[in-house]
Amino acid sequence: ANKEAGFKKNTHCHEAELTVCFISNPERKVPVWYQKITNDIRVPMIWDYHVVLLSKCSHTPAGLVYDFDSVLPFPCDGAEYAKLALQISMRRNPCYYGYYRLVPLAYFMEHFGSDRSHMIRADGTWSAPPPVHPCIKPELNNLDEYISMRRISHCEEGSNGTIEAQTLSKTHPALPILELVRALCPLSMALVEDREYIEVDSDSQSSDSGG
């Protein structure tokens, strides 16, 4: 609640300078470090998907990242977030390789919707505490289109190895998260390679995200 209030008060960006970033993969298992829910910055949170907001209205070259679930500064410098929260070199298991999809805020506000049914178990109980804010356009309920990162067939695959979702592939393609890290912090790969490698799934926690 404090972060949401601070965001509304301190964010003066034009809508065109804000982009919603969906992070997931075909396995629906993406590790993100420095998350509040783990209580330990050394242990990644394994999300089925994760969403952050990227802002270009900043004096820093990489812009700013707004992650409401992170213990990092809010907002966080993009380069710092890439280095600490995404930690590409730590992902030794291929099933944890992430992909991301960028959606302009204006498009997101007009077309995205979720009724949070993905968080409800077969017995009707919540798999995780739902967010306190109201659902976003529950009548649309198209979250899966934004977080689906299916591998396209060889005949469909472009030279850059793009991963595409079912309906947003042409306008908002999903790409390997390595490209996002390089865009935010070109030096981040070298910076994290000096750190000790860990098995992502050794002590990690997992949870269903709220939409």
pLDDT at 150: 67
pLDDT at 95: 82
User: Rounded to an integer, what distance in angstroms lies between the CA atom of residue 53 and that of residue 58?
Assistant: 13
User: Rounded to an integer, what distance in angstroms lies between the CA atom of residue 187 and that of residue 3?
Assistant: 29
pLDDT at 80: 92
pLDDT at 173: 84
Q: What is the helix (H) or strand (E) element at residue 104, kind and residue range?
A: strand 99-104
The class that CATH gives domain 2-114+146-192 is alpha beta
Q: What is the mean pLDDT, run by run of 10 residues, along the chain of 211 residues?
A: 55 78 92 92 92 84 91 94 82 81 92 84 82 81 85 41 52 84 69 42 60 64
Question: Over the stretch 135-159, which tens digit does the pLDDT of each residue have?
Answer: 888 887 889 889 988 654 333 444 3
107-133 residues labelled b (16+ CB within 10 A) or e (exposed): ebeeebebbbebbeeeeeeeeeeeeee
pLDDT at 106: 92
User: Rounded to an integer, what distance in angstroms lies between the CA atom of residue 65 and that of residue 79?
Assistant: 9
pLDDT at 3: 58
Domain positions in the chain are 2-114+146-192
